[in-house]
Chain A
Amino acid sequence: MSSTLLSTSEVVRVYGRRLSLLGQGGKPVRAVDGVSIGVARGRTLGIVGESGSGKTTLARMMVGLLPPTAGSIEIDGRSVPELALSDRKTLHRMVQMVFQDPVSSLNPRKTVRSILEAPLKALLGMGPEQRNQRIAELLSLVSLRAEFADRYPHEFSGGQAQRIGIARALAAEPELIVLDEPVSSLDVSVQAQVLLLLSDLQRRLNLTYVFISHDLAVVETISDEVAVMHLGKVVERGLRAQIFAKPQHDYTRLLLSSIPAVRRRAQ
């Protein structure tokens, strides 16, 4: 049915292995340790795991911000680490990222307009007329009023700021968006709005998502497939229903049972 857009095979990332004048440096940490996953066009892959399980490292490698120590990452049949070195423009027109903290991911000294303009200029080379038009389009895509364009990030709430982050990622017209804990710093009602917006955008623009979260409830809402990460390894992966109904791995069961009781009663 659908072809694979992004796939990783045996990806490894080691931190802290460096030469030091005084003997060995610290003990190297294998933040991501042999991960092989893939996501099909137009679908959403959820990645769950606790803090320190290597989710964010994996996300950064997927968008080419970090080179992997070993293994390969391919998008549409082309190697991400190689594109990151040789042809960033092509890479970033295919894959974009939305960051966890909406406020720190927006430069406090730039207006929304200049934040959204950067990708239009750098990646698409649009003229000023086109850019203004496109900025208005992008803002309406994420349900923000056009007059917000001349405001500064600190004038927005967390949910609004995250919408701007999403608009910025959409500006490059990517096929794949890697969302690194996009809702975990928002409160619950705003989370729901942003999640709805994301699935709406996915349908309208035929986007592919890699959705990273430590919140199982959120992942359950949005994902088609789920991968569970623990200490840098994927311990279990499968369709959403499968994972949530019949977890195979001990760690997955532990994660599921750690969802607060209020939620279970509500179900």
Chain B
Amino acid sequence: MTRRAYSPLTRRRLANFRANSRGFWSLWIFLVLFLVSLFAEFIANDRPLLVSYDGHFYYPIFHDYTEADLGGDLPIEADYRDAEVAKRIDARGWIVWPPIPFDYRTINFHLPSPAPSPPTAANLLGTDDQGRDVLARLIYGFRISVLFGLVLTVASSVIGVAAGAIQGYYGGLTDLFLQRFLEIWSGLPVLYLLIILSSIVQPDFWWLLGIMLLFSWMSLVDLVRAEFLRARNFDYVRAAKALGVSNPVIIWRHVLPNAMVATLTFLPFILNGSITTLTSLDFLGFGLPPGSPSLGELLAEGKDNLQAPWLGLTAFFVLAIMLSLLIFIGEAVRDAFDPRKING
């Protein structure tokens, strides 16, 4: 028999997923937003996409050019936003800019009003209190939040499911000792550890991820353990044992798929939680290094500049929409994995 592309089970799951149209469209919207944000450098950048000068093409996003390369005098990196540079290029060629001609670090020195300046044609969502474009920072911040959330969720789920599976399946003393360890471990104060850590090292993306991972893996353990404790007494697990299937295979092939529904139902919440955690750490100033684009930092600026409501509102709506989309996707995933749900 040749294996078909999708088994009937997979097909039914896909159909169930599609049947939940809110979740289905949420997934597409989220994927589009995420994909767009992955190409942030091509959408919001203070370097042009393409420069034609003197019959030659230049690709400033991929390559650094000096002003000397572009007909100037100085052997320093070209600042394409500089009026002199632009004028020189315009005289002997042309420039293609990204839709948003600002990077997340770019300071707009030509603001019509003091920073934070309200939305204008140049800065669609206004600027923050350092004159940086909010939309550009938003795109980069969204990307870093989602990436952080995804990596943290995947890593902590893998560890959590493995630990829960071992605990629940073997039970007895293994369960007893791991459970006591979990109780002690979950008693450690995460926030203090982060504060102490940030006074020793400058926490970057990976440092934060590592220290969050040390504690976030526990969220799934109880759930998976309970599922395994229940499932290990099922007759089909006994039957599998009687059929000579080894313990790791039983855990992987027979019990885990049944524990997966509960796990998957939790995943979007964990992803949400991870993103919220990063945002709140950034908000408090214990998160990503200063200057990094992040939703938490935008929220903090919104709080500090109540006279500039576009800051807080932007951060709020982006967070609210992103988290809601993830929840809707989670609901559809849960429906898809429900074995009793035939269709609709």
Partners in one complex: yes
Interface contact A65-B340, CB-CB below 8 Å: no
C-alpha spacing A110/B240, complex, angstroms: 12
Q: How far apart are A43's CB and chain B's nearest CB, in angstroms?
A: 22
Interface contact B254-A92, CB-CB below 8 Å: no
Residues of chain A from 58 to 89 with CB closer than 8 A to chain B in the complex: 60, 63-65, 88-89
C-alpha spacing A248/B296, complex, angstroms: 83
Q: A89-B244, A109-B258, A118-B245 are in contact. Are A152 and B239 (CB under 8 A)?
A: no
Q: A109-B258, A152-B339 are in contact. Are A122 and B235 (CB under 8 A)?
A: no
Q: Residues of B contacting A128 with CB < 8 Å? A: 1
Interface contact A108-B258, CB-CB below 8 Å: yes
Interface contact A109-B1, CB-CB below 8 Å: no
Q: Is A199 an interface residue (CB 8 A)?
A: no
Interface contact B238-A65, CB-CB below 8 Å: yes
Q: Residues of B contacting A100 with CB < 8 Å? A: 235
Q: Which B residue's beta carbon lies closest to that of A87? A: B244
Specify which of B1, B243, B254, B339 lies most central, judged by the most chain A CB atoms within 10 Å of its CB: B243
Q: Which A residue's beta carbon lies closest to that of B3? A: A128
Interface contact A150-B8, CB-CB below 8 Å: yes
Q: How far apart are B138's CB and chain A's nearest CB, in angstroms?
A: 42
Q: Is A101 an interface residue (CB 8 A)?
A: yes
Cβ-Cβ contact count across A and B, 8 Å cutoff? 71
Q: A99-B239, A106-B236, A150-B8 are in contact. Are A132 and B1 (CB under 8 A)?
A: yes
Q: How far apart are B282's CB and chain A's nearest CB, in angstroms?
A: 41
Q: Is A221 an interface residue (CB 8 A)?
A: no
C-alpha spacing A263/B239, complex, angstroms: 34
C-alpha spacing A101/B238, complex, angstroms: 12
Q: Residues of A contacting B83 with CB < 8 Å? A: none
Interface contact B239-A105, CB-CB below 8 Å: yes
Q: Residues of B contacting A110 with CB < 8 Å? A: 254
Q: Is A242 an interface residue (CB 8 A)?
A: no
Q: Residues of A contacting B258 with CB < 8 Å? A: 107-109
Q: A109-B9, A132-B1, A154-B340 are in contact. Are A104 and B244 (CB under 8 A)?
A: no
Q: Residues of A contacting B249 with CB < 8 Å? A: 122
Q: How many residues of B contact A (CB 8 A)?
A: 21
Q: Is A168 an interface residue (CB 8 A)?
A: yes
Q: A104-B235, A128-B1 are in contact. Are A109 and B339 (CB under 8 A)?
A: yes
Q: Residues of A contacting B245 with CB < 8 Å? A: 118, 122
Interface contact A108-B254, CB-CB below 8 Å: no
Interface contact B243-A154, CB-CB below 8 Å: no
Q: Residues of B contacting A212 with CB < 8 Å? A: none
Q: Residues of B contacting A190 with CB < 8 Å? A: none
- B219-246: CB near A (< 8 Å → 1, else 0) gives 0000000000000001110111111111
Interface contact B242-A107, CB-CB below 8 Å: no
Q: How far apart are A91's CB and chain B's nearest CB, in angstroms?
A: 8
Q: How far apart are A258's CB and chain B's nearest CB, in angstroms?
A: 28
| Interface range for A | 35 or more
Q: Is A96 an interface residue (CB 8 A)?
A: yes
Interface contact A123-B339, CB-CB below 8 Å: no
Q: Is A45 an interface residue (CB 8 A)?
A: no
C-alpha spacing A105/B1, complex, angstroms: 27
Interface contact A92-B235, CB-CB below 8 Å: no
Q: Is B290 an interface residue (CB 8 A)?
A: no
- A143-180: CB near B (< 8 Å → 1, else 0) gives 00000001010100000000001001001100000000
Interface contact A65-B242, CB-CB below 8 Å: yes
Q: Is B93 an interface residue (CB 8 A)?
A: no
C-alpha spacing A59/B301, complex, angstroms: 70
Interface contact A99-B238, CB-CB below 8 Å: yes
Q: Which B residue's beta carbon lies closest to that of A101? A: B235
Interface contact A88-B244, CB-CB below 8 Å: yes
Which one of A96, A109, A150, A152 contacts B242 once the chains associate, using CB atoms below 8 Å? A96
Interface contact B1-A104, CB-CB below 8 Å: no
Q: Which A residue's beta carbon lies closest to that of B236? A: A107
Q: Residues of A contacting B99 with CB < 8 Å? A: none
C-alpha spacing A156/B1, complex, angstroms: 24
Interface contact A65-B243, CB-CB below 8 Å: no
Q: Residues of B contacting A88 with CB < 8 Å? A: 244
C-alpha spacing A154/B12, complex, angstroms: 15
Interface contact A123-B244, CB-CB below 8 Å: yes
Residues of chain B from 222 to 281 with CB closer than 8 A to chain A in the complex: 234-236, 238-246, 249, 254, 257-258
Q: Residues of A contacting B1 with CB < 8 Å? A: 128, 132
Q: A107-B254, A109-B339 are in contact. Are A122 and B244 (CB under 8 A)?
A: yes
Between A and B, 17 residue pairs with Cβ closer than 8 Å are: A63-B242, A88-B244, A92-B242, A96-B242, A97-B239, A99-B235, A99-B239, A100-B235, A105-B236, A107-B236, A108-B258, A109-B257, A110-B254, A118-B243, A122-B244, A122-B249, A154-B340
Given contacts A105-B234, A107-B240, A107-B254, 14 further A-B contacts (CB under 8 A): A65-B238, A93-B244, A96-B242, A99-B235, A100-B235, A104-B234, A104-B236, A109-B257, A118-B240, A122-B243, A122-B249, A154-B339, A154-B340, A172-B243
The 5 closest A-B pairs by CB, nearest first: A105-B235, A99-B235, A119-B243, A92-B244, A107-B236
Chain A residues within CB distance 8 Å of chain B = 60, 63-65, 88-89, 91-93, 96-97, 99-101, 104-111, 118-119, 122-123, 128, 132, 150, 152, 154, 165, 168, 171-172
